[in-house]
Amino acid sequence: MSQMKRSVRVAIAAVGSLLLAASCNANETASAGGAQVAASAAIDTAAISANSPASSNWLTYGGSYNSNHFSALKKIDTSNVDKLGLAWTYDLNTTHHGVESIPVVVDGVMYVTAPWNAVHALDATTGEQIWSYDPRVPRSVARKGCCDVVNRGVAVYQGKVFEATFDGRLIALDAATGKLVWSTDTLPDGNHNYTITGAPLAANGKVIIGNGGAEYFGARGYVSAYDAQTGELDWRWHTVPGDPDKPYENAAMEKAAKTWDPKTKYWKQGGGGTVWQSFSYDPKLDLLYFGTGNADPWDPNSRGGPKYDSLYTASIVALKLSTGKYVWHYQTTPADMSDYDSDQDLALTSLKIDGESVPVIMNANKNGFFFVLDRRNGKFISAENFTPANWATGYTKEGKPILTGLGQSGKPFETIPGPYAAHNWQAASYSPETGLAYIPAQLIPIVMAPVGNDPESKGKAGGINSGNGWNTGMQLVGGGKTTPFGRLIAWNPVTQKQAWAHDYPAPWNGGTLATAGNLVFQATADGRLVAFNAQNGESRWESSLGQGAIAGPITYSVDGTQYVTIAVGWGGSAGQSFSATDRQGPGTVFTFALGGKATPPEFAKRKTAPLLSGVAYDPKDVAAGTAVYLNNCAICHGTPGQNKGGSVPNLGYVDAAIIKSLGSFVFNGPYVSNGMPDFTDRLTQDDVTKLKAFIQATATAVGKQ
């Protein structure tokens, strides 16, 4: 095999890197429109705590502090769900980025966010805009995020709307007018690639937020609490220890430091453990619950080997909300090597365990196991895998994983689940009526290999995926043996067994909503909103959304009418480089009601161009271009020609004139205003020449397959 062909085939197996950055649009303004409707200032901790699931409102990201994504509304049920029709739609004025927002609804007003953090207040019965606010997130920060410029929503509390922006600000808006009340920078400095995509939680006069960035050099995870009235920092708790030559912030950090190898100087890399998803809260215990992200770098051998657990990464943590003091933790994946964050939703409920009602916290983890813990003390109760897993065979009764030794051979290996996760951030729901959890499960296998001494893969401040530690390649672009899937799983947390499941044509489907109408709703990668009988999984209804959807649905009621809403827009980490439908539309809010007769928007079909051809290149440049592409382009654009692209164009299908003049696009090009990074300070003209060679050679090789 020639060196050029070998380089191209290796690239096809290794490109499609899992952590995807991205880009879109915004400006700092608040514009009012329609009747001014104030959110009730009475929405406080007591109101949210007392809020019955039968309430007409949807008061937090997870529906309530318990994050069950469940509603006891039941005017829409299995007997009439087939009468659901479109009530209204609202254009979020954004394209080419994932819409991950779960709206909050208070007293007939809906608050929903778009990529680049635009906040929209809408009449929840008509979709008419009341006001909108754009925080003007600089497009240049798109390069600092691993997984698209997304946002998962807001918190509404005491007459204010709280949002955390992609560039690290926490802002408070007047809920009635959308005017800015205060803004505070949550980041320690401007030198690290911290970003925020999660929804904040507000309780007891505080607003809680974390951030992302553990795939980038220098990120040290933390959670912060701010005064809801003033925006002043109340407390901050780091998730991993800092420089051991400096005093530890608290006893928890001193304890954690014993689980890191000091010879690796882990504090210089940062450590990772970022808290990038939302939170759960138990007001009676005053315990705030959150999951932490991966260690930095991923490869545990770079952190001293499997004997170092790297606390408190890949863990579930409980703090006192009032003080920020550590109470307990449980590490779901000690010495994590495969990006098995524990940031997924943490559902709170009570389960009958050995005849006793136990307050529990449940987590359908990225690593493929469903965990049940006593939320009072973090005691391990049970864990079983809900998808295949080749890294562990199970857990001991003490809650320790039984490892298979995967990744310790020094050779490439396929990790199952892959870093895209068995269950990612997409909301899982739990119904106390059926006793089942509903998990948007998937399998996107990844082939990983040690980076060795490859200087292009070494961590450096600001480098894309510099916290990775592995050379990665998606199963979808070759290299793996396992077939990807997307699946809705109904899971019994007491017996730790599957009750029923429904398979989808592709992975990366949306979050779930369970209701007392014996229904489970979910949006799909192939562009539908579907409803199932929650008890037995029978399909009951579906409606076209015109494009893939990844957010979770909600339901609410106004003047006796129950509505179901989903914010739609294809993207997110996986969605940027592949899609399950050839349709692409603007970010849109779809709202349904019984008897709805609104006209759906007409999303034009996306036409795929022919494979790239006609770009001259020197075959000697292909190998070097591979490294340049992997480190700078693959996270958004995937493998040239290998797939037809997701929300970001695949460079194997663009016009040849674009690749021939690639420098004019790479160096402060026309798409910078839409969030494409400016590579002026990162790449040279020689790098661009090598990129052209890799892109054309790879597209050509794909055409010959």
The CA distance from 389 to 399, in Å, is: 17
* First-last CA distance in the chain: 15
| Residue 530 near residue 522, CB atoms below 8 Å | yes
Task: Describe the crossing of helices 3-14 and 685-703 by its angle, rounded to 10 degrees.
Answer: 90
| Whether the bond into 610 is cis, omega within 30 of 0 | no
Radius of gyration of the chain (CA): 24
Q: Which two tokens stand for residue 624?
A: 């070097």
Residue type for position 360: V
| Residue 605 DSSP one-character state | B
Residues 6+ apart with CB under 8 A from 16: 473, 474, 476, 477, 577, 634, 638, 639, 642
Token pair for 566: 């989903």
Residue with tokens 């002043």: 232
| Torsion angles phi and psi, residue 445, rounded to 5 | -60, 150
Residue that the structure tokens 């562009």 belong to? 527
339 catalytic? Reply is yes
- The Cβ of residue 521 has, within 10 Å, a number of other Cβ atoms equal to 32
* CB neighbour list of residue 244: distance below 8 Å, 6 or more residues apart: 257, 262, 267
10 Å Cβ neighbour count for 484? 19
**Of residues 148, 234, 339, 621, which has the active-site annotation?**
339
CB atoms within 10 A of CB 299: 18
Residue 302's SS3 state is: helix
Sheet of 119-123, strand order: 29-32, 129-134, 119-123, 109-113, 104-106
Angstrom distance (rounded) from CA 447 to CA 206: 43
What's the DSSP call for residue 299? Answer: -
Reading the block at residue 30, the tokens are 């608040």
CA angle 107-510-336, nearest 5°? 115
Distance CA 241, CA 313 (A): 10
Token digits for 503?
Answer: 């398979």
Q: 677: which residues sit within 8 A by CB, 6+ positions away?
A: 21, 23, 140, 142, 143
CA distance 102 to 14: 34
In angstroms, the Cα distances linking 442 to 445, 505, 510, 519 are 10, 11, 11, 21
State how far the Cα of 675 lies from the Cα of 358, in Å rounded to an integer. Answer: 48
List the one residue out of 59, 84, 79, 64 whose CA is nearest residue 518: 79
Extract the tokens encoding 382.
């049970």
* Farthest CA pair distance, the chain: 72
Strand order across the 470-474 sheet: 413-415, 446-450, 470-474
**Which residues form the catalytic set?**
339
